[in-house]
A and B are shown apart, each in its own frame.
Chain A
């Protein structure tokens, strides 16, 4: 124990003597880890956000598929579904998209029926009259609007319609409501010029979650042109999306990791004359190869542990405090309305394990051989050079 402590002391002294080189290495290493860590943390937080909030999504959504495309569904389907035993309620819903030429962004418009409970994340009120709407914070921001202002949207007939903003969703819920415009269902039907006998899809509420699969089969049996989507499938989708996404970004970053390993290899191979003499002296005073390799091992461990801690903490701050500014442009794509990340700092220890394994292992592996080459230098040869 004491021996290891002394070796650590010696390794630290050695590292501080070659300050410039090691600090540069440490910074590059920490930066690589921070970049990889940010990707992991961000996608993991998004995934857990989706998993937590969408856990309350409708048990089943039934769409109609016509000619392979999502088609408006007759409201009579809702009656058929509601009659299946086990179904608590089948609600036809109306929602759609709206492209605003002025701000060049897509909005999601949703019809609300009768709001039952007080929504805590809403400032103001849900739309009550046909010329009112509630909007997400993204829409309020892009128009610079507040409660009481009016929103002008062009309806299906090409006419301008004015909606008074009765409520704005808080920034807290931006990840769900950022581009949302809610209006009373009749108003939305009139806006989209929808036939009263159709709906966009049907949200089905099912009492016993174990029956969802059976009911989905029954829906498919009775209404063969539909596509039921269960809640677990929604959650699956988000799991897969974010696994795939972080994997993609990871695969891209592996190049950076390899580049870093080459740098580390190079730094470890090119030892200075001073360092060589130092090892020569150590061996001359009786250190054996094993001791020198232990020193080298400690040096590697100190560097990678410090870099890992710095990098991970930096990644955490970057994602959860600063809102991942460096990753947003990559994620954003062509979205005009992109929600700010106010994510819950949920990090699975598993992510840390993955990050540690992926970054520390290659570094240690690629410094092994250079360390050995240094350690076996013969003393007289080292001192003579």
Chain B
């Protein structure tokens, strides 16, 4: 199974990014041990140079992670015809349950690496790099995660056994009983809607308030809301957004959206949700850093950017999700 080009690319890419991260964390470790911001020795200068290498390694690593996340979904989608009973990516992931873990780890890695890169940018803007230690400690946590991603991915793909015709004498038919599940269990649409719309409304109110005020508390609230909204939005996609997008009352798959048949609508949908969530987290995370004098001016400036990007991302997500609800002939819930 490993010899599928997409799988080769994924495993190669993961291996590459693990290597980059190992190199980066090795350098990070020496910096953690030897860094002395006040010194102007030659050794310190070399360490400062190394921070540039680390950030460039991490930027590349993050880029690979984002692309490989997309590629993973696309590959899982592309190989589903090899499994009897699989209609889309869900079928492939169910064929070897490790796949769901890979997806989870990839999600975590995306957020971890993106946050790292953004805070690294912020830190590099300041003169005295106050985030240096937490940054490199975090790096030491991201690297094992990337390694976990690689190993899980390998065990997922090597554990997939496609059903090939050459299996003798109709052994395929006798194995129908174990054929993979194709649907996910979902929340009832009414419950999901009752959760989804209020949370999204709270998110919008909070973001707009944050744009007007500098209050740190609002940002903490936004941070929590965004996390809650992210999970509720994922549940909502499975529960009712997918139904509207497919115009079918019983099709809950969150991955079919990524197929050409649906014009790849899932990609902007998920990009909006993930981007909106990521940038919605930032103001809350950056608020406690305000007390660093060298960072606070930069944070004030970036804060608005982040809020706007988050708003745009969420709005893209919402627009795609709501469009068929409002304008398509399909009705899921009859009113009145």
Contact = CB atoms under 8 A, between A and B. Distances in A.
Question: Is A bound to B?
Answer: yes
Interface string A239-274: 110011011101100100000000000000000000
Give the interface size class of chain A: 35 or more
Given A227-B169, A353-B70, A358 B176 contact: no
B12 A362 contact: yes
B3 A243 contact: yes
B5 A358 contact: yes
A369 B166 contact: no
Interface stretch (B73-81, B94-102, B325-333): B73-81
Interface stretch (A108-116, A134-142, A187-195, A370-378): A370-378
Contacts of A328: none
A233 B165 contact: yes
A243 B49 contact: no
A234 B165 contact: yes
Given A213-B173, A289-B49, A290-B124, A358 B165 contact: no
Interface in B5-22: 5-10, 12-13, 16, 19-20
Given A220-B173, A229-B165, A372-B56, A239 B81 contact: yes
Contact of B13 (A246, A348, A351, A361): A361
Contacts of B162: 236, 240
B164 interface: yes
Contacts, number: 128
Interface string A323-353: 0000000000000000000000000111101
Contacts of B64: 361, 365
B53 interface: yes
A216 B82 contact: no
Interface of B is mostly: helix
A19 B17 CA distance: 31
Nearest to A39: B5
Contacts of A220: 169-170, 173
A248 B77 CA distance: 21
A322 interface: no
B60 interface: yes
B16 A365 contact: yes
B170 A227 contact: yes
Interface in B21-67: 23, 49, 52-53, 56-57, 60, 63-64, 67
B169 to A, nearest CB: 5
A328 B162 CA distance: 28
B52 A290 contact: yes
A37 to B, nearest CB: 11
B52 A368 contact: no
A240 B164 contact: yes
B172 A233 contact: yes
B173 A358 contact: no
A88 interface: no
A232 B2 CA distance: 22
A237 interface: yes
B171 to A, nearest CB: 10
Given A216-B173, A247-B4, A289-B52, A361 B82 contact: no
B8 A361 contact: no
Contact of B6 (A236, A354, A368): A354
Contacts of A293: 52, 56
Contacts of A227: 168-170
B87 to A, nearest CB: 12
Contact of B60 (A239, A251, A350, A365): A365
Interface residues of B, number: 49
Of B8, B56, B57, B60, which is in contact with the most chain A CB atoms at under 10 Å from its CB?
Answer: B56
A236 B176 contact: no
Contact of B8 (A213, A247, A289, A375): A247
Nearest to B61: A365
Contacts of A371: 56
Contact of A217 (B3, B49, B84, B173): B173
A115 to B, nearest CB: 29
A184 to B, nearest CB: 30
B74 A353 contact: yes
Is the contact region of chain A dominated by helix, strand, or loop, or is it mixed? helix
Contact of B5 (A216, A247, A365): A247
B163 interface: yes
A339 to B, nearest CB: 22
B68 interface: yes
A154 interface: no
B163 A236 contact: yes
A254 B8 contact: yes
B8 A236 contact: no
Contact of A40 (B5, B10, B52, B68): B5
A358 B169 contact: no
Contacts of A129: none
B71 A353 contact: yes
Interface in A99-149: none
Nearest to B10: A357
Nearest to A378: B45
Contacts of A376: 49, 52-53
B269 to A, nearest CB: 17
> Max chain A CB contacts within 10 Å: which of B52, B63, B67, B84?
B52
A361 B10 CA distance: 11
Interface of A: 40, 65, 213, 216-217, 220, 227-229, 232-237, 239-240, 243-244, 246-248, 250-251, 254, 289-290, 293, 297, 348-351, 353-354, 357-358, 361-362, 364-365, 368-369, 371-372, 375-376
Which are the 9 A-B pairs with shortest beta-carbon distances? A247-B3, A233-B165, A376-B49, A237-B165, A358-B9, A372-B53, A243-B4, A354-B9, A357-B9
27 contacts: A213-B176, A216-B170, A217-B173, A233-B172, A235-B81, A236-B82, A243-B5, A246-B5, A247-B3, A247-B4, A251-B3, A293-B52, A351-B5, A354-B6, A357-B67, A358-B5, A358-B8, A361-B16, A361-B64, A362-B12, A364-B60, A364-B63, A365-B20, A372-B53, A375-B52, A376-B49, A376-B53
Given A229-B165, A251-B8, 19 more contacts: A65-B169, A217-B170, A227-B170, A228-B170, A228-B173, A233-B165, A236-B164, A240-B82, A244-B4, A289-B52, A357-B71, A361-B64, A368-B53, A368-B57, A372-B49, A372-B52, A372-B53, A372-B56, A375-B52
